[in-house]
Structure 1
Amino acid sequence: MADKLDLLNQLAASMGAGDFAKTKYEDSKYDPETGTLYCDGIMITKPVIEKAEQHFKALKSKCSYNDPASREMAMIYQVALEGIKIMRASGQETMKEDKSDNT
């Protein structure tokens, strides 16, 4: 029953209920010290992230730039790779900011 209530509250919040609907949504967080991504209530470890990166690189390398559909897939894989890169970079920046705040 609690899951149903959470779902209804999230729906109400997304429809503009604002403060009337409390949700359990939390932003994703990347921990650069451990290389772990926390999102949607799960923990994605550094080895899994590295496997994802290798997977998208391998798929991209199989694409042909002569075929429009294959070229589009290569761009989609590149978006995933860039997302991983940005996640790591933003995690490093956050870590630098935290260290400077503590000094």
Structure 2
Amino acid sequence: MKIDSLDYLVLTVDNMEKTCEFYQKALGMEIHRFDEGRNALKFGIQKINLHQKGNEFDPKALHPMAGSEDLCFITSEKIAEAITHLQLGNISIEEVPSSEQMQWGL
């Protein structure tokens, strides 16, 4: 399997406002607020989605904790081929993306 690029990263945080303030002031990232209380940090063509610990959005890590990260990759391979590749490597899959998630890159 070949990964083409990183779509986004999810960072679980204890304090949303302090996190946004740090990344904005220290690294010049743009705070992007969207969809009823969601937050992201944008820089160039990349973004980091932020989840408030204890109030995470799905899909999420099995046991999210402050400082943990979720990664979303983009591949041009067919989803069935990617799943087979991971299964053959004895890599468990927590959740297969829905067609809507694949369409919108979520």
Under a length normalisation based on structure 1, what TM-score does the superposition of the two structures give? 0.23
- RCO comparison, higher one (Cα < 8 Å, 6+): 2
Instruction: Specify which structure has the higher proportion of strand.
Output: 2
Q: Which has the larger radius of gyration?
A: 1
TM-score normalised by L of structure 2: 0.23
